[in-house]
Chains A and B, each alone.
Chain A
């Protein structure tokens, strides 16, 4: 049973465009929502994270939007660059366990 549902599975965006990845969850015990970026052959790296009492968090070109009532959150990558091409995972924390979404393979075309 997938506790965190992520879409789309893959995404192609033109350089300079906006990349949007969506996630939804059911477990209301989740209290922390990080996003990870993973390049091939590497471990995931923490990109940005948000707590459920905040509706939006922005760090540089990366923004998380959080809708607690809908139990949805999304990652927006502004001015997407070829170097952003990677796999992105949304996640949620329950206690100390991290539950990952299925991942989105992002390709930014130059």
Chain B
């Protein structure tokens, strides 16, 4: 149980384009979803926290106008990287949690490569 699906798994696009990544909780309702970024051989860095139906809370240093997060339902959150540039290339991972201090369940990540 507690499966989180992320799509696409890999995307390559040109600099300046926008890319949307979907995160779905398949067998539970995620009241809160999280978006992380992971560079090679590094740990996961939290980008933002989103609660269903409300605006996302961004971590310090993360541009909210560049990384648009929508959490329209209890099973779907999207991250849109607007006007992506090569420095945005990274592994983006989402997670969902039912409530409180329950363990987060992670998707398999999206490898984003900006040319």
Binding site for B on A (CB under 8 A): 31-32, 34, 36, 41-46, 49, 89, 93, 95-98, 100-103, 105
Interface status of B103 (Cβ within 8 A of chain A): yes
Interface class of chain A by DSSP = strand
Interface residues of B in 38-85 (CB under 8 A from A): 41-44, 46, 49
Alpha-carbon gap, A40 to B104, bound state (A):
19
Closest residue of chain A to B6 (Cβ to Cβ) is A43
Interface status of B108 (Cβ within 8 A of chain A): yes
Q: Is the CB of A34 within 8 A of B106?
A: no
Distance in Å: Cβ of B78 to nearest Cβ of chain A: 17
Interchain Cβ contacts within 8 Å, total number: 50
> B residues within 8 A CB of A102?
42-43
> How many B residues face the partner with a CB closer than 8 A?
23
The winner among A43, A45, A98, A101 for most chain B CB atoms within 10 A is A43
The winner among B32, B97, B108 for most chain A CB atoms within 10 A is B108
Cβ-neighbour of B43 out of A34, A41, A46, A101 (below 8 A): A101
Cβ-neighbour of B104 out of A42, A98, A103, A105 (below 8 A): A98
Closest residue of chain B to A6 (Cβ to Cβ) is B43
Alpha-carbon gap, A2 to B8, bound state (A):
31
Interface residues of B in 94-113 (CB under 8 A from A): 95, 97, 100-101, 103-109, 111
Q: Is the CB of B46 within 8 A of A98?
A: yes
Distance in Å: Cβ of B38 to nearest Cβ of chain A: 9
Alpha-carbon gap, A101 to B44, bound state (A):
9
A49-B103, A93-B101 known; A100 vs B108 contact (CB < 8 Å): no
Closest residue of chain A to B107 (Cβ to Cβ) is A43
Interface status of B93 (Cβ within 8 A of chain A): yes
Distance in Å: Cβ of B115 to nearest Cβ of chain A: 20
